[in-house]
């Protein structure tokens, strides 16, 4: 037995204190950037400005690559687009000249739109396709810049926009770009550490679970692509101004590689890492001049090394907190008494009803005319041999499979077939046979993901860190901590989830599901891999959950647990109901005993 009981009483203070150390490195970088003009020459102003501009782009791209896990390798295209849009508008060779700040804003809007267009395939397809569309977009943007001479000046190029005083000197422009870089950092951090940022990571590492918690992947990705596209195009406008004169040659694919690799060197799911990565990669060719021609080659070697040797990047190196060893003899002790504080009593009187549900895979009838009633406040056990359709039934209810026949209703409403991301909103939460947690996020964040749809602040509010967003965050964090206390994992709240034991992951999943305050909870073999003590505690926890009015559908192989806590049991065999009734009836049911339980 370990220190599970010593819950830090000063919860609030620890969270407040933890912000400052996280902020320190950023302040350090910012301070160094401020000092730079006093210790160097105009040449370094150029390099510093370049790093700042790149970071404006990378900060947005980082949300796409590092957080959402979509490999956008051609983002130089959006830089190009922004550079040309700003330059053409400011020069006024097509339309009347636009003031530079207006031109930058318009360019950002154009970039946002194209960011979404390029990202469309990412909504439905595997990573490689998205990598390819961004690559293809990069190819055609360069071709267009070359061919559309009347607007872009073709190979001869076009004059970049010019800022007015005091930003028309090298250092003046430098400070301006550092300012924009700081804003970009702030914006991207706001999203990264909001429920949207957690949802992005959830989509990346546990997309199935993300759907079950009601996260709408397309909607979220569109918001992110808008933001990243706008920031990239904005950076493009600044880049054009820095270059003073732009030709298609200025936007080589090498730049794309730099942006992309800066993020991977920095580490996924981090902001500081990619920022350091951007700075290092910008400076590297400058301090090693003979290497300049080989810089892309070096980046590529770095990329390969990172993939093969150090997938975590700089962020993993700097993550000292997660190197401290965890206690090895941990035990999970749920504090069930606390459940009534965090799980509101469900008032629902609706029954989750399946009638004559059929699901076929080819010629196999995985579910063959299933009837099932899960009543509020009751625990319904679903048992049967392997392949009898238990998990499949859960998947049909939670929308991963669309039933070929029959109806699923919640009270009087039919649940639409398919569409798993709508289930959370209907009050149905679930866990998975193989726990689907986000390994790279902390335990607390994993649980907070469960409450994503409970948040009220919009994406824009989170982006600008407005009060409603803070209220959401505080509420979610407090609720998640309390939930972790209930399942007995509070001591591990700040640990990376991939360091936990299998049994602990199962309890994380339950805590995450409870964050929805569900009317119905579907548990897929929650006891698998647990010790007998833990199973007993799990049983008590499930029972307590159902006493709050939640209907529980429990798929399990542990017959003792089933007979101990269930109010109703349905036995499946080959997709059909073999028997249904109270545990007492099932226990003595002849066919069940011979087919499944063993005599």
- Closer Cβ to another protein, 180 or 401, answer by number: 401
Please provide the DSSP assignment of 129-197 as one string.
HHHHHHHHHHHHHHHHHHH-HHHH-TTT-EEPP-PPTTTTSHHHHHHHHHHHHHHHHHHHHHHHTSHHH
User: Is residue 297 near another protein by the rule CB under 8 A?
Assistant: yes
**Which region among 133-141, 323-331, 348-356, 566-574 touches another protein (by CB under 8 A)?**
133-141
Residues in a beta bridge with 414: 409
Question: For residue 197, what are its two tokens?
Answer: 């940022």
- Closer Cβ to another protein, 102 or 155, answer by number: 155
The residue from 307, 414, 419, 588 that contacts another protein (CB under 8 A) is 307
CA torsion angle 42 43 44 46 (round to 10)? 90
User: Is residue 552 near another protein by the rule CB under 8 A?
Assistant: no
Classified as helix, coil or strand, 531 is coil
Least distance (Å) between residue 295 CB and another protein: 9
User: Is residue 400 near another protein by the rule CB under 8 A?
Assistant: yes
The answer to whether 237 and 103 are in contact (CB under 8 A) is yes
Please identify which residue in the block is written with the tokens 């422009």: 173
- Closer Cβ to another protein, 65 or 535, answer by number: 65
**Which region among 303-311, 350-358, 373-381, 475-483 touches another protein (by CB under 8 A)?**
303-311
Cα separation, 110 vs 103, whole angstroms: 10
Least distance (Å) between residue 339 CB and another protein: 28
**Which region among 129-137, 217-225, 318-326, 542-550 touches another protein (by CB under 8 A)?**
129-137
CA distances from 431 to 75, 486, 512 (A): 37, 17, 9
What does DSSP assign to residue 425? G
**Which region among 99-107, 135-143, 328-336, 525-533 touches another protein (by CB under 8 A)?**
135-143
The residue from 432, 459, 507, 520 that contacts another protein (CB under 8 A) is 432
Helix count and strand count (H, E) for the chain: 24, 12
In 343-427, which ranges are continuous DSSP H helix?
390-397
Nearest alpha-carbon partner for 66 in 230, 249, 188: 188
According to CB under 8 A, which residues from 85 to 124 bind another protein?
A: 117, 120-121, 123-124
Question: For residue 306, what are its two tokens?
Answer: 């990172």
The residue from 128, 341, 560, 591 that contacts another protein (CB under 8 A) is 128
**Which region among 99-107, 293-301, 348-356, 509-517 touches another protein (by CB under 8 A)?**
293-301
According to CB under 8 A, which residues from 204 to 223 bind another protein?
A: 207-208
Least distance (Å) between residue 491 CB and another protein: 30
DSSP H or E run through 258: helix 253-266
User: Is residue 73 near another protein by the rule CB under 8 A?
Assistant: yes
User: Is residue 304 near another protein by the rule CB under 8 A?
Assistant: yes
The answer to whether 163 and 53 are in contact (CB under 8 A) is no
Nearest alpha-carbon partner for 564 in 535, 589, 545, 539: 539
Interface positions with another protein (CB under 8 A): 69, 71, 73, 117, 120-121, 123-129, 131-133, 135-137, 139-140, 143-144, 147-148, 207-208, 253, 257, 264, 293-294, 296-297, 299-301, 303-304, 306-308, 311, 391, 395, 400, 432
């Amino acid at each position: 037995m370990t220190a599970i009981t010593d819950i830090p009483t000063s919860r609030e203070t620890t969270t407040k204190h933890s912000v400052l150390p996280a902020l320190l490195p950023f302040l350090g970088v910012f301070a160094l950037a401020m000092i730079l003009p006093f210790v160097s020459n105009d040449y370094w102003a150029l390099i510093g400005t370049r790093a700042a501009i790149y970071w404006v782009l990378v900060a947005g791209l980082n949300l796409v690559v590092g957080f959402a896990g979509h490999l956008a390798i051609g983002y130089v295209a959006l830089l190009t687009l922004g550079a040309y849009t700003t330059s053409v508008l400011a020069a006024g060779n097509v339309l009347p000249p636009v003031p530079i700040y207006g031109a930058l804003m318009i360019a950002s809007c154009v970039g946002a739109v194209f960011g979404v267009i390029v990202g469309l395939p990412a909504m439905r397809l595997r990573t490689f396709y998205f990598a390819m569309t961004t690559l293809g977009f990069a190819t055609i943007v360069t071709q267009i810049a070359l061919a559309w001479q009347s607007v872009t000046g073709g190979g001869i190029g076009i004059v970049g926009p010019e800022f007015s005083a005091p930003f028309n000197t090298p250092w003046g422009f430098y400070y301006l770009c550092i300012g924009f870089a700081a804003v970009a950092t702030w914006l991207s951090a706001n999203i990264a550490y909001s429920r949207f940022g957690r949802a992005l990571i959830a989509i990346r590492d546990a997309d199935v679970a993300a759907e079950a918690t009601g996260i709408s992947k397309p909607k979220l990705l569109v918001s992110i692509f808008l933001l990243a596209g706008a920031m990239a195009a904005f950076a493009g406008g600044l880049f054009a101004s820095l270059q003073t004169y732009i030709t298609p040659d200025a936007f080589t694919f090498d730049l794309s590689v730099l942006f992309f690799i800066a993020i991977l060197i920095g580490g996924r799911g981090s902001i500081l890492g990619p920022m350091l990565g951007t700075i290092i990669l910008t400076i590297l060719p400058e301090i090693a001049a003979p290497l300049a021609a080989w810089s892309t080659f070096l980046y590529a070697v770095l990329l390969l090394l990172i993939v093969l040797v150090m997938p975590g990047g700089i962020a993993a190196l700097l993550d000292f907190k997660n190197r401290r060893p965890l206690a090895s003899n941990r035990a999970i002790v749920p504090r069930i008494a606390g459940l009534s504080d965090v799980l509101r009593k469900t008032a629902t009187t609706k029954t989750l009803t399946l009638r004559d549900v059929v699901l076929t895979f080819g010629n196999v009838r995985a579910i063959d005319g299933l009837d099932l009633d899960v009543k509020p406040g009751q625990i319904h056990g679903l048992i049967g041999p392997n392949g009898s359709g238990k998990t499949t039934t859960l998947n049909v209810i939670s929308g991963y499979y669309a039933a070929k026949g029959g109806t699923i209703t919640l009270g009087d409403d039919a649940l639409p077939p398919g569409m798993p991301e709508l289930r959370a909103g209907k009050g149905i939460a679930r866990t998975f046979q193989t726990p689907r947690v986000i390994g790279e996020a902390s335990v607390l964040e994993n649980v907070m993901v469960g409450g994503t749809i409970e948040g009220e602040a919009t994406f824009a509010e989170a982006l600008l860190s407005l009060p409603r967003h803070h209220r959401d965050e505080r509420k979610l964090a407090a609720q998640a901590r309390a939930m972790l206390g209930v399942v007995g994992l509070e001591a591990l709240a700040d640990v990376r989830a991939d360091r936990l034991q299998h049994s602990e992951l199962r309890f994380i999943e339950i805590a995450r599901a409870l964050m929805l305050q569900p009317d119905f909870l579907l548990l897929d073999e929650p006891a698998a891999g647990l010790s007998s003590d833990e199973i007993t505690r799990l049983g008590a926890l499930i029972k307590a959950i159902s006493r709050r009015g939640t209907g529980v559908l429990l798929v399990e192989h542990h017959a003792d647990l089933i007979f101990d806590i269930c109010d109703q049991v349905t036995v499946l065999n080959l997709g059909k109901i073999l028997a249904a009734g109270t545990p007492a009836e099932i226990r003595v049911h002849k066919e069940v005993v011979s087919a499944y339980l063993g005599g």
